[in-house]
């Protein structure tokens, strides 16, 4: 890879541009994981679930192509570490799924709604960001490390399924990743496109574009922003990322880092990173679509109970998302594209947490009625 040191501002602008595409298309196609789960459970409509699955399939195939082409190394992401924190993935995923149900949407959907004028989502942004920061470096973080992250399985090597398959069978690494991609990515793609309803333009556009944006994010941070030997540290580095590793789209920790940047703006060590720029880009892209279609309108809370539901949901998402290392996008698409076991566990837990919370909310509604 090229050792030229690219400016962090370049990485930020590229992430912002990709975020604009994500937000614009996400608004246009009503891309929403919570909506996908709700539609499937409550009215038997699997359209948006197929859109999410298509995005996963595109992300898996695209990330694999970049990996096999030698353009990126997915083992240098946060998702494929050798220690499988299964309890953190399960608990964090369940809490995130429950939280997004209470808060009317996950991290990406909240940004899209902010762009349309939704003040409820703006409040969710602030409290999700605070909870995420507390889970990264504050009070919640001590609980997370002591009670959850201390439980795990040491696999001895990376936790992505191709690497495990290669170790267990002796297959060459490239063969193992192609087989796994064909099974997982191909299976998700077949599920996504198996129904005639899935060939609607909104499902195809949403799934294809969101998946491709995640792949482009890997390329930007993992190839364009990668230097094999940083002139200051003489070590390999990924320019413009908060984690110091290659990143793509995720919407929990970047909320925290966005608030941190605003609070410490005069600190010159704080910069607009890939994650922060992506957050801004998604909001801007959604706002652009809302303005072009004249669908922008201010919306606020109905009553105090509505406020409390969104606040509690935001806090649960902040804690759960950091604990599980991602959200419906950060783990459900970005993490899944690495074929990491932890990402698959988290995604299943998010779906379960959301579905269970919907059932509880429905039961409470029927009881009150």
Q: Nearest Cα to 273, choosing from 9, 1, 5?
A: 9
Catalogue the E-assigned strands of 192-274: 226-227, 237-238
Computed over every residue of the chain, the mean pLDDT equals: 95
Rounded Cα distance between 53 and 65, Å, is 18
Has residue 2 been placed in a domain? Answer: no
Confidence class for position 353, pLDDT limits 50, 70, 90: very high
pLDDT in tens, 73-97: 999 999 999 999 999 999 999 999 9
Cα-based angle 46, 49, 52 (whole degrees, multiple of 5): 155
Residue with tokens 């076991």: 341
Nearest-10 crossing angle of helices 173-180, 47-68: 170
Neighbours of 169 (CB within 10 A): 11
Better-predicted residue by pLDDT, 234 or 212: 212
Long-range contacts from 174-182, C-beta under 8 angstroms, 24+ separation: 174/68, 177/64, 177/67, 177/68, 177/339, 178/64, 178/68, 180/339, 181/60, 181/61, 181/64, 181/339
Q: What is the pLDDT of residue 367?
A: 83
Mean pLDDT for the stretch of residues 233-237:
84
Query: Is the four-CA dihedral 198, 331, 276, 265 of positive or negative sign?
Result: positive
The boundaries of the domain holding residue 136 are 8-78+85-368
pTM score, whole prediction: 0.95
Cα–Cα distance for residue pair 165/186, rounded to 1 Å: 17
Task: Name the band, by pLDDT with cuts 50, 70 and 90, for residue 2.
Answer: very low
Q: What is the pLDDT of residues 331-342, one digit of tens each?
A: 999 999 999 999
List pLDDT tens digits, range 122-137: 999 999 999 999 999 9
The encoded tokens of residue 128 equal 């999700």
179 located within any domain: yes
φ, ψ dihedrals at 299, nearest 5°: -140, 135
Model confidence at 196, pLDDT cuts 50, 70, 90, reads confident
Q: Domains in the chain: how many in total?
A: 1
- pLDDT level of residue 230 (50, 70, 90 thresholds): confident
Q: How confident is the model at residue 369 (pLDDT cuts 50, 70, 90)?
A: low
pLDDT at residue 248 is higher than 50:
yes
**212 located within any domain:** yes
What is the arithmetic mean of pLDDT over 1-22?
88
pLDDT at 233: 79
- Provide the pLDDT for residue 1: 41
Say how many CA atoms lie within 13 Å of 27 toward its Cβ. Answer: 30
In a domain, 336, yes or no: yes
pLDDT tens digits, one per residue of 274-296: 999 999 999 999 999 999 999 99
Tell me how many degrees the CA angle 234-237-238 measures, rounded to the nearest 5. 160
């Amino acid at each position: 890879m090229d050792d030229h040191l690219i400016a962090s501002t370049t990485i930020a602008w590229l992430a912002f541009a990709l975020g604009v595409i994500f937000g614009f298309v996400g608004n246009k196609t009503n891309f929403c994981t919570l909506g996908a789960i709700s539609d499937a459970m409550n009215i038997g409509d699997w359209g948006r679930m197929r859109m999410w699955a298509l995005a996963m399939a595109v992300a898996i195939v695209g990330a694999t192509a970049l990996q096999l082409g030698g353009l990126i190394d997915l083992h240098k992401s946060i998702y494929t570490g050798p220690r499988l924190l299964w309890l953190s993935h399960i608990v964090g995923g369940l809490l995130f799924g429950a939280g997004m149900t209470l808060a009317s949407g996950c991290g990406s959907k909240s940004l899209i709604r902010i762009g349309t004028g939704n003040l409820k989502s703006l409040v969710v942004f602030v409290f999700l960001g605070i909870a995420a920061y507390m889970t990264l470096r504050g009070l919640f973080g001590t609980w997370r490390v002591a009670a959850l992250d201390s439980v795990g399985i040491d696999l001895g090597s990376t936790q992505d399924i191709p690497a495990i398959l290669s170790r267990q069978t002796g297959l060459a690494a490239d063969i193992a990743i192609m087989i796994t991609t064909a099974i997982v990515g191909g299976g998700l793609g077949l599920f996504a496109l198996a129904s005639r309803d899935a060939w609607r333009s909104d499902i195809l556009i949403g799934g294809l574009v969101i998946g491709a944006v995640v792949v482009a994010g890997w390329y930007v941070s993992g190839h364009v922003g990668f230097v094999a030997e940083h002139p200051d540290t003489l070590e390999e580095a990924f320019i413009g990322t908060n984690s110091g590793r290659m990143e793509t789209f995720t919407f929990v920790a970047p909320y925290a880092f966005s608030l941190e940047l605003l609070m410490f703006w005069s600190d010159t060590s704080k910069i607009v990173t890939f994650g922060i720029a992506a957050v801004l880009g998604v909001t801007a892209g959604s706002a652009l679509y809302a303005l072009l279609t004249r669908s922008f309108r201010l919306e606020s809370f109905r009553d105090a109970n509505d406020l409390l539901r969104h606040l509690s949901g935001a806090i649960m998402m902040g804690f759960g998302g950091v604990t599980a290392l991602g959200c419906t996008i950060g783990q459900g698409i970005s993490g899944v594209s690495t074929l990491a076991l932890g990402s698959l566990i988290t995604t299943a837990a998010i779906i379960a947490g959301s579905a269970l919370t919907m059932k509880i909310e429905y039961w409470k509604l029927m009881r009150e009625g």
